[in-house]
Amino acid sequence: MPHRPSQSYGPFVGLIALGMVWTLPNSVLGLLLGIAGLPFGARLRWQRRELALVVYRWPRGAGALTLGNVIIHTGEKLDVPCLTYAHRAGRVVEPPVSLADHERAHVYQYMLLGPLFLPLYLLCGGISVRNRFELAADRYARHGHGWWPWRGWGPSA
């Protein structure tokens, strides 16, 4: 995993705050899910780099799920290698990327799209190798840019 995106958000603090407010309904869903896992061993920790509250040791499933500024993860730490969607689907052979970087891309997507994220994500195919949100998150995790799902326009055009 050679790529490490910058964690300096200095000049963007105001925009980040607006994005967090805009995606608050999604974050509340994530927080409720995270709290539901506490009696079963889940733990909460704010991760500045991810701009998210991370729920570690979620008791069900495998991997991670982002809801607004909340990342639900079944493991002990988020910065672990994971395979890209295209690799898992057998489309390409790629080295693993950082799960933290992949999920951070989703946090950025949520902060820009707010309540529109989930309907758009589902319209684009849900959890699938064809979903442009997942492909963009993998691209960001590989290269440190390109988290916006529509290339050619928008914040990472």
| Sequential DSSP letters for 71-139 | EEESSS-S--EE--HHHHTTS-----EEHHHHHHHHHHHHHHHGGGHHHHHHHTTSSSTT-HHHHHHHH
Give me the residues of the chain with pLDDT under 70, please: 1-9, 152-157
Half-sphere exposure of 55 (CA within 13 A, CB side): 31
Confidence (pLDDT) at 8 = 64
Domain housing 20: 12-143
Full-prediction pTM beyond 0.85? yes
CA separation for the pair 28, 124 (Å, rounded): 23
Give the total number of structural domains in the chain: 1
Query: Is residue 103 assigned to a domain?
Result: yes
Query: Is residue 100 assigned to a domain?
Result: yes
Confidence (pLDDT) at 151 = 78
Query: Is residue 151 assigned to a domain?
Result: no
Query: Is residue 86 assigned to a domain?
Result: yes
Sole residue written with tokens 């672990």: 80
Query: Is residue 149 assigned to a domain?
Result: no
Confidence (pLDDT) at 16 = 92
Query: Is residue 81 assigned to a domain?
Result: yes
Query: Is residue 125 assigned to a domain?
Result: yes
